[in-house]
Chains A and B, each alone.
Chain A
């Protein structure tokens, strides 16, 4: 069994300030973890993924996430928010090397103030 909890349903930051979107997971298997972004009325775009290699994963658009097994966390960060980062973000877990079994978190809506 696996599950994902995104600890904040909404996060609001000012443009130019750091972004932190929190994600905790549970999995009976060695997991693969993903962050996807969804802009309004659009599909999901893969930001980054962790698949048991380096624990600090760098993604697109300046985002990165760190896999911490001891804390069962995979928080998403970005040093400086841009207005275009405003979107819905989903943390996703699957058993390693089994891309059929994605489990989605509830999503975090990121708002960026000018």
Chain B
């Protein structure tokens, strides 16, 4: 149980284009999903917290107009990197919390984005 998937696992795009990454909770309902960014050989940095049916809460320094987050259902959140640039190349990881549970986040396998 508590499986989180991400699609795609890897994506390469040209500079200036937009890329959408999906995060799905496969066997549970997730009222809250989180998006993290991980640079090579570094730890995870929280980008935003996404609550189903409401606007995402972004961490300081994260541009909400560049990283669009939609959480339209209890099993799906999407992150769209708009007008991507090479510096947006990174490993993006989502996680989800079980509805009603307090502590544990379950993580997806990550999406490797390379912007040329």
| A107 & B43 in contact (Cβ 8 Å cutoff) | yes
Q: Are B105 and A41 in contact (CB under 8 A)?
A: no
* Complex partner residue of B102 from A42, A99, A104, A106, CB under 8 angstroms: A99
Told that A46-B107, A99-B101, A104-B44 touch, could you supply 19 new A-B pairs with CB distance under 8 A? A34-B104, A36-B107, A41-B112, A42-B109, A42-B110, A44-B44, A44-B95, A44-B107, A45-B107, A46-B104, A46-B106, A97-B103, A98-B102, A98-B103, A100-B32, A102-B34, A104-B45, A106-B43, A107-B42
- Chain A residues, CB < 8 A from B102: 97-99
Complex formed: what's the CA distance from A36 to B46 in Å? 15
Beta-carbon nearest neighbor of A103 in chain B: B46
Total contacting residues, chain A, CB less than 8 A: 23
Q: Count the B residues whose beta carbon is within 8 Å of the partner chain — how many?
A: 25
State the majority secondary structure of interface residues on B.
Answer: strand
Instruction: Compute the total of residue contacts between A and B using a CB distance below 8 Å.
Output: 56
Q: Is B113 an interface residue (CB 8 A)?
A: no
Nearest CB in chain B: distance from A2 CB, A: 13
Q: Write the A65-94 contact mask toward B (1 if CB under 8 angstroms, else 0).
A: 000000000000000000000000010001
The answer to whether A27 has its CB under 8 Å from any CB of chain B is: no
Q: Which chain A residues border B6 with CB–CB below 8 Å?
A: 43
Could you give 9 example pairs across A and B, Cβ below 8 Å?
A34-B104, A42-B110, A43-B110, A44-B107, A45-B107, A97-B102, A99-B101, A100-B34, A104-B45
Check A24 for interface membership: any CB of B closer than 8 A.
no
**Is the CB of B84 closer than 8 A to any CB of chain A?**
no
Residues A102 and B46 in contact, CB atoms below 8 Å apart:
yes
B93 within 8 A of A: yes
A104 is contacted by which of B4, B43, B49, B97 (Cβ under 8 Å)?
Answer: B43
Cα A97 to Cα B32 with chains together (Å): 14
Determine whether the beta carbon of A99 is less than 8 Å from that of B110.
no
Interchain CB contact under 8 A, B44 and A43: no
